[in-house]
Chain A
Amino acid sequence: MNPHEREPTPVRTACPYCGVGCGVLATPDGAGGASIAGDPAHPSNFGRLCSKGAALGETLSLDGRLLHPEIEGRRASWDEALDAAARGFRETLDRHGPEAIALYLSGQLLTEDYYAANKLFKGFLGSANVDTNSRLCMSSSVAGHKRAFGADTVPGVYRDLETADLLVLVGSNAAWCHPVLHQRMLAARAARGTRIVVLDPRRTATADEADLHLQLRGGSDVALFSGLLVALADGGFVDQAYVDAHTSGFQAALARAREIAPDLAAVAAACGLAEAEIAAFFDLFAGAERVVTLYSQGVNQSAQGTDKVNAIINVHLATGRIGREGMGPFSLTGQPNAMGGREVGGLANQLAAHMGFDAASIDRVRRFWDAPRMARAEGRMAVDMFEAIDRGEIRALWVMGTNPAASLPRADAVRKALAKLDHFVVSENVASNDTLTAGAKIRLPASAWGEKDGTVTNSERRISRQRPFLPLPGEARPDWWIIARVAERLGFGAAFAWRTAGEAFREHAALSAFENGGARDFDIGALAELDDDAYDALEPTQWPAKRRDAGGETRFFAEGGFFTGDRRARFVAVEPPASRPPDAGRTLRLNTGRIRDQWHTMTRTGRSPRLASHLPEPFLEISPRDGLRAGLTDGGFARVSSAHGEAVLRVRFDPTARDGAVFAPIHWTEETSSGARVAALVHAVTDPVSGQPDAKATAVAAAPVVFGRQGFALTRGALGVLDEGAWWARAVAPHGVSLLFATNGAVTLEEVFPDLRGSDEIVDFVDPARGTYRAGAFRDGLLQAALFVGPGSQAGAWSFLRGKLGARLTEGEIRGLLLAGRARGGADCGPLVCACHGVSRGAIEDALRAGANDAATVGSMTSAGTNCGSCLPEIRRMVAAARVRTNVPALGLFG
């Protein structure tokens, strides 16, 4: 072997998606791509990856990347751009003071980036208007933790999910949103019989896998957990010794719980459930010492999110089930570094390093930073921040790595507000998104996953390195570097003189330990002494990691030791669930959330053809009864409107949906759809404590929208523009891109594919009686583009043809038959069910017809579900449906 051709070494890094924080092995291919595998040595995932993580290799192209600084739409040098960015903040500060500047950050920033940004604004520009998209994600958990524990502490560790006897998932579709962790739970159940209870108003994939699913009314969690507290107290399950020794406020909390939920009947009424279902859950909970209650956005994104968190924590405190193996409340975070942002203090109501805005903390941080202009009070939280921008109170804004014009409640209003800014800087990976197009004057190209170098913290307080394995493209730079250069131009060069991310990290670690002495939970002093090599080699490390005391898994609070003044936990007397006045004409309650194969606004997952196949269009899930009442048809379209905006979505009748409750995914933006920015609908109601918006309960109405034609355009080249009234969603395909659309206008080949050449060979099929037009364009013998138009959904053909783009035809293949939109003799292949192995619904149905009678057999026949397992609920559902089909005649014969 040529000694120069060494095997490329995999780089150990961490996944950029959810808060599970999986370790990833990335092996660069030397051509800008990389092969991706799970890191067997990482304690979050032990080698497993979910469909999204496994497809990371498909997301590395530089298409659509912002690669150079821009000022007012023209390319600029870094010097010009940084000068302009700094000047704008300086001028706004001078003219309007520190209340008029703001920073809006992201849970996808690395800890080092977060640290730099927070330090600049809170220590050097005097502004606490530093908030983050984590406000939309887990700030109710932060607030709940702080109220109960005196600090934002996640008490448990992932291993608890494997040693618990009962797992209660509240408002968490972990099967889709935290798949690797969910698989760990299911594996534990298989090994030791763990019971799983899911509390969710939706019949999610997670609910499908549960032993018990309580499909409670949205927002009724507080009543349920109040009822549980009462039941535990009345049943003698309170750990009085723990309560007496380590807590305060139990009686008041219990009294309040009794007011809210005096008995099973009251709980049942509040939750819209049968008493027996509730009793079953209470019995399970009472009987299992080792119980972990996991919760996510269904709890956090609520007008009463903090109370929900505390209602959950209350029952764990009351039973002393906290901080010991296999038990405790457990917040699952949705972003790779929401936890890191919290550690840094990158939120408007935190100062730094788990310190607040008390005078002692402000002074301590001032001394540590040698800071000239400390923020003295909490700043504006996300929703409030953008309302202040609208009112002209904030005049200069810097957005980093997030897309508030697509993700904040009342997104249309947010977008309008952004246009009013005097100074608007965005640091981004992508060249275009809803926020950039909302008037960003200075665009700074930031490094992306694979290029970034730093750390992230996952849901169990574990710090992992994100290591670069690709060169910085174009003029992209790390966020911390950009911030430091702006700081330099504002006159603070000495305080931001880090040469590496490691230097910034060590400073952050040192601050966590500075005058700590056990007073603050967050202490990673041991990491302040890492040299550059040790930082580079840092193994996944759980905090606390105090000086001379690092290493090992740590839980909190088994023996009390809370971070309140008296070291006691606080029971919180939660407020009764508020019933909002009914909104006449808007009788549906809109729940929003993620889907299995997409993440946030799809800027990364949206690049993966595999991930685009499962659910390629924005949709509205609605119960058939509500749908019919609103005049909708399954597979048709609905205009969903709230007091704040509207969206047009594909209708999916879901027989498992609660009447009155509808669901829409959050992922589509103006870049990827014609009008499916669901955040535009969402009301700006926030939790009074956490400031987290309630994205799960907006009053909406739905009305049918009728389109005469539906179809798709698929091309290796460019997509043109459809008529003004057309509905569309963009989805990538292998070797190309596609547009799924519906319209009443005409769609012509020339308009939808503007870069077709005269030499391209067109194959077409017309069936005017059926309103069908299909065409394929071939270039150099390969399918260059395809257009299907028909009276109904062309989704099946889309699934089939997207795989044919750019593919060479087989010998003797009649290419015109591609316009059948499916394989000869084969059924409609349908959407991908297993994104990891690319197995379609049709292939699984074939396996079921061939005799597979459980998910394991389907797996051995098709590979479906054998990697990340997040499609297993769907496969099991298909197995069950097939059983019903085959059993029907048998019943007819013998029944």
Chain B
Amino acid sequence: MQPERLVIVGAGMASLKLLEELAAAAPRRYDVTVVGAEPTPAYNRVLLSSLLAGEASDEDLRLRGRDWYAAHGFRLLTGAPAQAIDRAGKRLILRGGRALAFDKLVLATGSEAIRLPLPGADLPQTLTFRDLYDATRLRALAAPGRRALVIGGGLLGLEAAYGLVRRGCSVTVVHLADRLMERQLDERGAATLRRTLEAKGVGFALSASSVAITGDAQVTGLELATGERLPADLVVMACGVRANAGLAKAAGLRVNRGITVDDRLATSDPDIFALGECAEHRGDVYGLVAPAYEQARTLARRLAGDDSATYAGSVLSTNLKVSGVGVFSAGAIEPEDGDETMVLADPGHGHYRKLIVRDDRLKGAILVGETSDALWYLDLITTATPLGPLREDLAFGRGFAMAA
């Protein structure tokens, strides 16, 4: 009997994790083809910021070589964007017309950087920061002494800004909200982070709305809604990502902000699955690698025949990858009525810690500066462990709380 044909659209980290899990759980069960738009096999996108900052090399980003795919019988097609899904014919059509027949299809199409529709957004020194290509271009443009503006004070924007500072640029982050990482940090945490980054040379313009990128053939600056003009040699847009759901939508699959999937990670078509940043599960579209990996583990088990495998969502946790600046955020960031809040703050040293407890369980943690206990807190949140005696010295970390 011929093995079932499994086609995976997308050759990023979620895709690779699914392959790894499959190789372990059900080797050779499927005839697998992976198609990716980028020219290379999956690489560690998480390290792009470090690459930009010169703290990681191209070598560090490498994950699995083509030989690994071959050794496991996975057919890998790179530089091959998918164009359409023929659900009735159970075929995936690639750009150029090639069709791949499938029994099961997995969409791991990821997300794309949002490009603000500003005047001047098409100038060649206006970039996004999403993939290896962006990183390569940024590295080329970010010569020492260049003035760079980063639009967006979220995780990616801050990492890009730090990377550019490390490359010798003078950098200002332009952010619409009045504080950095407003979805992950509370006000004091954000302020602490801002001071630390300022000490590392990053400038900030908060509550600043960009209206136009100026310059004719070459970026000269950014105009704000206040009329203020910030001079710049390059502009990086790091205003968030959007799920790549166009393929699914065109195929008539149910799509909201992302491709909607159920707890089995199936789309509205039971033979088509989705995972990673393109998927929307219980209303959440995750933009981080950890939930994608959890989804990959679940989906691999399902594909291996384990019908009990379900995915119930992930606790969001954030780690900012700026060396010397730990930022971790998981769970709730502001207390609700009846919650208990603990705050340990050392603004002078850039340390801030807020923990939210409800019913003797940790509900949220924000750590800025010192994050060595982040995974312990994350574990307490995800497992909803009753704190008991850990509660007393919880804010001081595992070493203190466990010895209490």
A residues neighboring B (CB under 8 Å): 761-770, 778, 814-817, 819-820, 822, 824-827
B383-404 at interface with A (beta carbon < 8 Å): 392-393, 395-397, 399-400, 402-403
Nearest B residue to A817 by beta-carbon distance?
A: B396
Task: Identify which of A762, A763, A770, A820 contacts B396 (C-beta below 8 A).
Answer: A820
Q: What residue in chain B is nearest A826 (Cβ atoms)? A: B403
Structural contact, A769 and B346, CB atoms closer than 8 A = no
Contact present for A825 and B343 (CB under 8 Å): no
**Does chain A have a CB within 8 A of B143?**
no
Tell me if B353 is interfacial: C-beta within 8 Å of chain A. yes
How far is B397's CA from A822's CA once the two chains are assembled, in angstroms?
Answer: 13
Determine if A816 and B346 form an interchain contact, defined as CB atoms under 8 angstroms apart.
yes
Closest to A763 in B: B346
Q: Which residues of A contact B403 (CB under 8 A)?
A: 824-827
A766 contacts B343, CB within 8 Å?
yes
Partner of A825, one of B340, B357, B399: B399
Separation of A814 and B326 alpha carbons in the complex (Å): 13
Instruction: Judge whether B351 and A814 touch: CB under 8 Å.
Output: yes
CB contact list, B308-350 vs A, under 8 A: 340-349
In the complex, the answer to whether B351 meets A816 with C-beta atoms within 8 Å is yes
- Does residue B31 face the partner (Cβ distance < 8 Å to A)? no
**Known: A817-B400, A822-B400. Contact between A768 and B341, CB under 8 A?**
yes
- Sample (20) of A-B pairs whose CB atoms are under 8 Å apart: A761-B346, A762-B348, A763-B344, A763-B346, A764-B345, A765-B345, A765-B395, A767-B343, A768-B341, A769-B340, A769-B357, A814-B346, A814-B351, A814-B370, A816-B349, A817-B396, A820-B393, A824-B400, A825-B402, A826-B403
A-B contact count (CB 8 A): 69
Give the nearest-CB partner of B396 in chain A.
Answer: A820
Given the known interface contacts A767-B395, A817-B397, A817-B400, the answer about A761 and B348 at a Cβ–Cβ threshold of 8 Å is yes
Expressed in whole angstroms, the Cα–Cα distance for A426 and B352 within the complex equals 54
Closest CB in chain A relative to B100 CB, distance in Å: 54
Of B341, B349, B393, the contact of A815 (CB 8 Å cutoff) = B349
Contacts of A820 in B (CB 8 A): 393, 396, 400
Indicate if the CB atoms of A816 and B344 lie closer than 8 Å.
Answer: yes
The 7 closest A-B CB pairs, nearest first, are A761-B348, A769-B340, A820-B396, A763-B346, A824-B399, A816-B346, A767-B342
- The binding surface of chain B is classed by DSSP as mixed
Task: Report, as a range, how many residues of chain B touch the other chain.
Answer: 20 to 34
Specify which chain B residues have a CB less than 8 angstroms from the CB of A778 in the assembled complex. 348
**Whole-angstrom CA separation of A860 from B370 in the bound complex:** 39
Question: In the complex, what residue of chain A is closest to B340 when comparing beta carbons?
Answer: A769
Measured in the bound complex, the distance between the Cα atoms of B343 and A763 in whole Å is: 10
What is the minimal beta-carbon distance from A785 to any residue of chain B, in angstroms? Answer: 14
CB distance from B199 to the nearest CB of A (A): 14
Q: Could you tell me if B353 and A816 are in contact, using CB atoms closer than 8 angstroms? A: yes
| Cα distance A309–B45 in the bound complex, in angstroms | 90
In whole angstroms, how far apart are the Cα atoms of A102 and B346 in the complex?
60
Report the nearest A residue to B344, measured CB to CB.
Answer: A765
CA gap between A815 and B340 in the complex, in Å? 24
How near does chain A come to B376, taking the closest CB pair, in angstroms? 14
Q: A762-B348, A765-B344, A767-B341 are in contact. List 18 more A-B contacts (CB 8 A).
A: A761-B349, A764-B343, A764-B344, A765-B343, A765-B345, A765-B395, A767-B340, A770-B392, A814-B346, A814-B351, A814-B370, A816-B346, A816-B349, A817-B396, A817-B400, A820-B396, A824-B397, A825-B400
Q: Which of B341, B348, B396, B402 contacts A819 (CB 8 A)?
A: B396
* B-side contacts of A770, CB under 8 Å: 340, 392
Please give the distance in Å from A776's CB to the nearest CB on chain B: 8
Closest to B394 in A: A767
CA distance A769 to B363 in the complex (A): 15
Least CB distance, B342 to chain A, in whole angstroms: 5
Which residue of B has the minimal Cβ distance to A774? B344
Q: How far is the CA of A813 from the CA of B395 in the complex (A)?
A: 16
A569 to B370, CA, bound (A): 80
Min CB distance B317 to A, Å, is: 21
Roughly how many angstroms separate A616 CA and B100 CA in the complex, as a whole number? 82
Q: How far is the CB of B371 from chain A (nearest CB, A)?
A: 11
A820 nearest CB neighbor, chain B only: B396
- B residues 260-313 in Cβ contact with A at 8 Å: none
Contacts of A822 in B (CB 8 A): 400
**Chain A residues positioned under 8 Å from B346 (CB to CB):** 761, 763, 814-816
Contacts of A767 in B (CB 8 A): 340-343, 395
CA distance A491 to B396 in the complex (A): 72
Residues of chain A within 8 A (CB-CB) of B343 are 764-767
- Nearest B residue to A778, CB-CB: B348
A762 to B346, CA, bound (A): 7
B335 to chain A, nearest CB (A): 10
Give the residue name and chain of the B residue nearest to A766 (CB).
B343
Q: Name the distance in Å between A470's Cβ and chain B's nearest Cβ.
A: 41
Q: Who on chain A is nearest to B372 by CB?
A: A814
Query: Closest Cβ of chain A: how far from B383's Cβ, in Å?
Result: 22
A347 to B344, CA, bound (A): 61
A764 proximity list for chain B (CB < 8 A): 343-345
Determine which residue in A770, A816, A827 has the highest number of CB atoms from chain B within 10 A of its CB, and name it: A816
**B residues 344-368 touching A (CB-CB < 8 Å):** 344-349, 351, 353, 357
How distant is the Cα of A770 from the Cα of B404 in the complex, in angstroms? Answer: 16
Residue pair B348, A763 in contact (C-beta under 8 Å): yes
In the complex, the chain A residue whose C-beta lies closest to that of B397 is A817
Q: Enumerate chain A residues within 8 angstroms of B392, measured Cβ to Cβ.
A: 770
Q: Which A residues touch B370, using CB under 8 A?
A: 814, 816
A764 to B353, CA, bound (A): 10
Chain B residue numbers with a CB within 8 Å of A816 are 344-346, 349, 351, 353, 370
A819 and B370 alpha carbons, distance in the complex (Å): 15
B residues less than 8 Å from A825 (CB atoms): 399-400, 402-403
Residues of A within 8 A of B344 (CB): 763-765, 816, 819
How far apart sit A764 and B347, CA to CA, in the bound complex (Å)? Answer: 9
A762 to B349, CA, bound (A): 10
- Which of B341, B345, B357: most chain A CB closer than 10 A? B345
Q: A588 to chain B: closest CB distance in Å?
A: 35
- Shortest CB distance B353–A (Å): 7
Distance of A824 Cα from B348 Cα, bound (Å): 22
Cα distance, A819 to B349, chains bound together (Å): 14
Instruction: Report B403 CB to chain A, min CB distance, Å.
Output: 5
**A767–B341 CA distance with the chains assembled, in angstroms:** 6
Which residues on the B side are within 8 Å of A824 (C-beta)?
Answer: 396-397, 399-400, 403
* Closest partner residue, chain A, to B343 (CB atom): A766
* Closest beta carbon of chain B to A154's beta carbon, Å: 54
Task: For B351, list chain A residues within 8 Å (CB).
Answer: 763, 814, 816
Residues of B within 8 A of A817 (CB): 396-397, 400
B391's nearest neighbour on chain A, judged by CB, is A770
Q: Which of chain B's residues has its CB closest to A768's CB? A: B341
> Separation in Å of the B366 CB from the closest CB of chain A?
14
- Closest residue on chain B to residue A776 by CB atoms: B346
Distance in angstroms between the alpha carbons of A761 and B344 in the assembled complex: 14
Instruction: Mark B31-60 against chain A: 1 for CB-CB distance below 8 A, else 0.
Output: 000000000000000000000000000000
> B345 to A763, Cβ gap below 8 A?
yes
Q: Provide the residues of chain A in CB contact with B393, threshold 8 Å.
A: 820
The residue in B340, B395, B397, B399 that gathers the most chain A C-beta atoms within 10 A of its C-beta is B395
Most B C-beta atoms less than 10 A away, residue of A762, A814, A815, A822: A814
Q: How far is the CA of A392 from the CA of B346 in the complex (A)?
A: 61
Closest to A765 in B: B344
Residue of A whose beta carbon sits closest to that of B342: A767
Q: Which of B140-189 contact A (CB under 8 A)?
A: none
- Distance, CA A824 to CA B397, complexed state (A): 9
Contact in complex: B396, A766 (CB < 8 Å) = no
A767 to B353, CA, bound (A): 12
A766 touches B348 (CB 8 A): no
